């Protein structure tokens, strides 16, 4: 009897324990979110768009490299030490960059992630459950970000593959034509500017002015002068932006979010947010920093020739350290050895280790003014409006004003505008695009004795993309 009971128990185990548990194989997700419970909420769509914001400066890398790239290959300074010199600094100095260089990959990867996240947000918000004003808000922000990403990619690599849907039919896309990509950038930024508010409650979010600012820079760099003029005027007419009275205040911590900021990538020295490592990358290791702060093996120097180009009373050069006292109280003289330090960005009193919280300005009002001056010169030749715009900048810098009579030709004013821009925007990631627009990028490099060729005007498409995308055509020369 006992035996039979036992047998029965065994049978029950066999039958019940295992036969009816098919749904056990349903995969249960614990620490991640699913489309069904995430993209159907406002906070879900918001978070997705935040990721797109984050992609502008993931771990600060894309932005730091943008800055270094421009000032090194623009020829006003150089970088030495650390692994950075090996992988990036030296190739940029010598125009020997290759498609395998990690910084190209970093741009490409992060900007395309930003595009992907913006695309998903745009499509997801249209699912019919959100109010119209919310839809407009998300779509306009996402389009501004997408426009910004495509504009950056276009400036670095030329036309790139276009993805504007959240689930593309084909994962493999060829490069768009020049016209297609320009149209997309213009469309995204224009549509965004139409719908975006002039002021956002949250500083750091894209505004109407920001979208217009990027659009203005896009028109400028693609020589669409009249459109550039119109857009710059539109920004000025917003009445939101003004020059900060003192040049060095533009970058001070007390003055973050000042009136000159048109489009900024916000940073903070917190371990979880996107902090900058600009100081750690700029100064030598023996530089006197605040307790608990450090710098890397790599440091960035300005050439003496650039330091010498400033007028004596130009306050903008006061942010360049020709000599300094190191942490052993020894005075180090960099000037004379092409080793002056660009100290435009302040040391963060809250910074720890390599973290620094200074915001990274992508478009400031001074840029809009000088862009307008340049576009007007291109359209009309030297004119008083351009001169007045330039002088607004020069007066703020405490240096002598220029006169219309100083410039007899369009070319001479153009040359001055380039110089003015280098003085105003050095170490702000503008050198490369300005030199390219003025047709000096290659010739200046050649004049420095570098074997620069026409093909260096665009960077190579990252090798990983070439390896995985059979439809992509590498830029010629690489």
Partner 1 sequence: MTNFELINLWERYPALKTYLLIMKLSFILCFLGMLQVSASVYSQNKLTYSFENKSIKNVLEEIENTTELRFFYNEDYLDMGKRVTIEGVEVDINDFLASLLETSDAGFRFLDNNLVVIVPKEAEQQQGNVTGTVTDKDGSPLPAVTIVVTGTTLGTLTDVAGNYSIEIPQGAKTLTFSFIGMETQVVTIGTQTQINVTMAESAIGLDEVVVIGYGTQKKSDLTGSLSQVTNENFNKGVNSSIDQAIMGRASGVQIRQTSSEPGGGISIRIRGASSINAGNEPLFVIDGLPIDNSPTLSIGGGAGTSPNPNSQNPMSSLNPDNIQSIEILKDASATAIYGSRGANGVILITTKRGIGEKMQVDFNHYRGIQSILRKYEVLGTSEYIDVINALSIEKGNSPVFSQSDIESIGKGTDWQDEIFHTANVQNYNLSFSGKTNNINYFISGNYYDQEGTVKNSGIKKYILKNNLESTINDRLSINLNMNTSVINDNPIVGGISHNEFAGAIYSAVFFDPTEKVKDEDGNYTISPNLLMPNPVSVIEGIENNVETLRVLGNISMNYKITDALSTKINFGSDFQNARRDVYNSKLTLLGLNNNGMAYINSLNRSNILGEYTLSYSKTLKGNSLITALAGATYQTFTDRSYSSSAGNFPTDITRTDNLSFGDPSKTVVASNKNANTLLSYLGRVSYNLYDRFLFTGSIRADGSSRFGENNKYGYFPSLAFAWKLHQEKFIPDFFSELKLRASWGMTGNQEISNYASLSTYSAAGYALFNESTYVASQPSRLSNPNLKWETTEQFNIGIDADIFKGRISGSFDYFVKNTRDMLIYLPTPLSTGYTNQLRNVGKMNNIGFEAIINSRNIEQKNFKWNTILNFSAIRNEVKDIGELSMILMGEAPGVGENSTIVKPGLPLNSYYGYKITGIFQTAEEVAGSAQINSKPGNPIFEDTNSDGIINSNDKQVLGNPFPDFTFGIINNFNYKNFELSINFNGQYGNDLLNATELLLMYPSNFRRNRSSIQTRDRWTPQNPGAKWPSGTDPNTYGGGAVSNYFVEDASYIRLQSLQLSYILPTKKLNFIDMVRIDITGQNLFTITNYTGGNPDSNVYGQGNYHIDFFSYPLAKIWTMGINMKF
- Determine, following the binding rule CB under 8 A, whether residue 17 of this chain makes contact with partner 1: yes
Site for partner 1 in 275-334 (CB under 8 A): 285-286, 291-294, 296-297, 328
Q: Which is nearer to partner 1, 35 or 183 (CB)?
A: 35
Site for partner 1 in 64-83 (CB under 8 A): 81-83
- Determine, following the binding rule CB under 8 A, whether residue 63 of this chain makes contact with partner 1: no
Residue 62 near residue 110 (C-beta atoms within 8 A): yes
State the minimum distance, in angstroms, from the CB of residue 435 to partner 1. 22
Please pick, from the candidates 160, 261, 347, 442, the single residue that binds partner 1 as defined by CB under 8 A. 160
- 272's CB contacts (< 8 A; 6+ apart) are none
- Determine, following the binding rule CB under 8 A, whether residue 158 of this chain makes contact with partner 1: no
State the minimum distance, in angstroms, from the CB of residue 204 to partner 1. 4
* 63 closest CA partner among 356, 478, 442: 356
Please pick, from the candidates 133, 171, 179, 331, the single residue that binds partner 1 as defined by CB under 8 A. 171
Q: Which is nearer to partner 1, 116 or 394 (CB)?
A: 116
For 57-123, give the DSSP string: SGGGHHHHHHHHHHHHHTTSEEEESHHHIIIIIHHHHHT---TT-HHHHHHHHHHHHHHHHHHHHHH
Q: Which is nearer to partner 1, 260 or 274 (CB)?
A: 274
Count the residues of the shown chain that bind partner 1, applying the rule CB under 8 A.
101
Span near partner 1 by CB under 8 A; candidates 11-19, 373-381, 384-392, 436-444? 11-19
State the minimum distance, in angstroms, from the CB of residue 185 to partner 1. 16
State the minimum distance, in angstroms, from the CB of residue 6 to partner 1. 7
Query: Which secondary-structure segment (H or E) carries 300?
Result: strand 299-302
Site for partner 1 in 27-56 (CB under 8 A): 27-35, 38-39, 44, 46-51, 53-54
Angle at 446 between CA 444 and CA 447, to 5 degrees: 60
Residue 261 near residue 364 (C-beta atoms within 8 A): yes
Alpha-carbon torsion (383, 388, 389, 394), positive or negative = positive
Residue 379 near residue 297 (C-beta atoms within 8 A): no
Residue 103 near residue 298 (C-beta atoms within 8 A): no
- Determine, following the binding rule CB under 8 A, whether residue 271 of this chain makes contact with partner 1: yes
Site for partner 1 in 195-214 (CB under 8 A): 202-205
- Determine, following the binding rule CB under 8 A, whether residue 14 of this chain makes contact with partner 1: yes
* Cα Rg, the chain, nearest whole Å: 26
Cα-based distances in Å from 244 to 261, 329, 347, 399: 9, 34, 20, 16
Span near partner 1 by CB under 8 A; candidates 6-14, 71-79, 183-191, 376-384? 6-14
State the minimum distance, in angstroms, from the CB of residue 50 to partner 1. 4
Q: Which is nearer to partner 1, 353 or 381 (CB)?
A: 353
State the minimum distance, in angstroms, from the CB of residue 215 to partner 1. 22
Contacts 24+ apart (CB under 8 A), 229-233: 229/372, 229/375, 229/376, 229/379, 232/368, 232/369, 232/371, 232/372, 232/375, 233/372
Please pick, from the candidates 152, 258, 267, 300, the single residue that binds partner 1 as defined by CB under 8 A. 267
State the minimum distance, in angstroms, from the CB of residue 365 to partner 1. 21
Q: Which is nearer to partner 1, 56 or 442 (CB)?
A: 56
Distance of CA 208 to the CA centre of its chain: 18
Query: Which secondary-structure segment (H or E) carries 262?
Result: strand 261-265
Please pick, from the candidates 68, 108, 219, 407, the single residue that binds partner 1 as defined by CB under 8 A. 108
State the minimum distance, in angstroms, from the CB of residue 27 to partner 1. 4
Site for partner 1 in 226-255 (CB under 8 A): none
Site for partner 1 in 350-389 (CB under 8 A): 352-353
Q: Which is nearer to partner 1, 145 or 370 (CB)?
A: 145
Q: Tokens 């623009």 — which residue?
A: 74
- Determine, following the binding rule CB under 8 A, whether residue 448 of this chain makes contact with partner 1: no
Phi-psi region of 311 (alpha: psi -120 to 50; beta: other; left: phi over 0): beta
Span near partner 1 by CB under 8 A; candidates 117-125, 210-218, 410-418, 424-432? 117-125
Site for partner 1 in 87-106 (CB under 8 A): 87, 90, 94, 96, 98-100, 102, 105
Site for partner 1 in 392-431 (CB under 8 A): none
State the minimum distance, in angstroms, from the CB of residue 243 to partner 1. 24
Q: Kindly give the residue spans of alpha helices, DSSP state H, lying in 381-448.
A: 384-396, 410-425, 431-437, 441-447
Strands 320-321 and 360-364 turn out to be unpaired
Please pick, from the candidates 40, 41, 86, 198, the single residue that binds partner 1 as defined by CB under 8 A. 86
């Amino acid at each position: 009897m006992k035996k039979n009971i036992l047998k029965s128990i065994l049978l029950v185990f066999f039958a019940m324990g295992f036969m009816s548990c098919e749904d056990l194989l349903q995969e249960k997700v614990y620490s991640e979110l699913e489309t069904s419970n995430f993209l159907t909420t406002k906070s879900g769509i918001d978070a997705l768009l935040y990721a797109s914001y984050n992609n502008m400066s993931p771990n600060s890398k894309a932005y730091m490299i943008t800055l270094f790239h421009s000032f090194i290959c623009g020829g006003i300074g150089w970088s030495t030490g650390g692994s950075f010199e090996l992988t990036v600094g030296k190739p940029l100095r010598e125009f020997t960059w290759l498609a395998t260089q990690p910084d190209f990959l970093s741009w490409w990867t992060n900007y395309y992630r930003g595009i992907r996240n913006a695309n998903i947000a745009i499509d997801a918000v249209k699912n019919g459950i959100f109010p119209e004003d919310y839809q407009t808000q998300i779509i306009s922000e996402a389009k501004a970000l997408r426009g910004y990403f495509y504009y950056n990619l276009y400036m670095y690599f030329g036309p790139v593959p276009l993805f504007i849907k959240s689930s593309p039919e084909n994962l493999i896309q060829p490069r768009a034509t020049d016209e297609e990509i320009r149209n997309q950038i213009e469309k995204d930024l224009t549509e965004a500017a139409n719908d975006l508010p002039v002021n956002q409650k949250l500083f750091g979010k894209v505004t109407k002015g920001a979208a217009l600012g990027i659009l203005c820079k896009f028109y400028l760099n693609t020589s669409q002068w009249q459109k550039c003029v119109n857009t710059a005027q539109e920004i000025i007419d917003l009445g939101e932006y003004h020059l900060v009275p003192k040049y060095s205040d533009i970058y001070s911590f007390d003055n973050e979010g000042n009136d000159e900021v048109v489009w900024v990538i916000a940073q903070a020295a917190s371990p979880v947010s996107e902090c900058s490592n600009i100081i750690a990358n700029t100064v030598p290791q023996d530089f006197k920093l605040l307790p608990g702060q450090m710098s890397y093996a790599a440091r960035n120097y300005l050439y003496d020739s650039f330091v010498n180009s400033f007028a004596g009373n130009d306050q903008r050069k006061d942010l360049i350290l020709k000599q300094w006292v190191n942490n052993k109280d020894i005075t180090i003289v960099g000037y004379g050895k092409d080793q002056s330090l660009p100290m435009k960005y302040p040391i963060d009193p809250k910074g720890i280790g390599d973290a620094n919280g200074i915001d990274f300005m992508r478009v400031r009002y001074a840029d809009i003014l000088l862009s307008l001056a340049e576009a007007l010169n291109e359209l009309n030749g030297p004119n008083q409006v351009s001169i007045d715009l330039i002088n607004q900048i020069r007066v703020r810098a405490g240096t002598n004003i220029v006169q219309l009579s100083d410039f007899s030709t369009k070319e001479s004013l153009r040359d001055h505008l380039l110089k003015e821009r280098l003085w105003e925007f050095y170490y702000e990631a503008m050198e490369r695009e300005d030199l390219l627009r003025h047709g000096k990028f290659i010739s200046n490099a050649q004049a420095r004795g570098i074997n620069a060729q026409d093909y260096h005007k665009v960077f190579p498409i990252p090798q990983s993309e070439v390896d995985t995308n059979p439809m992509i055509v590498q830029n010629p020369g690489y």
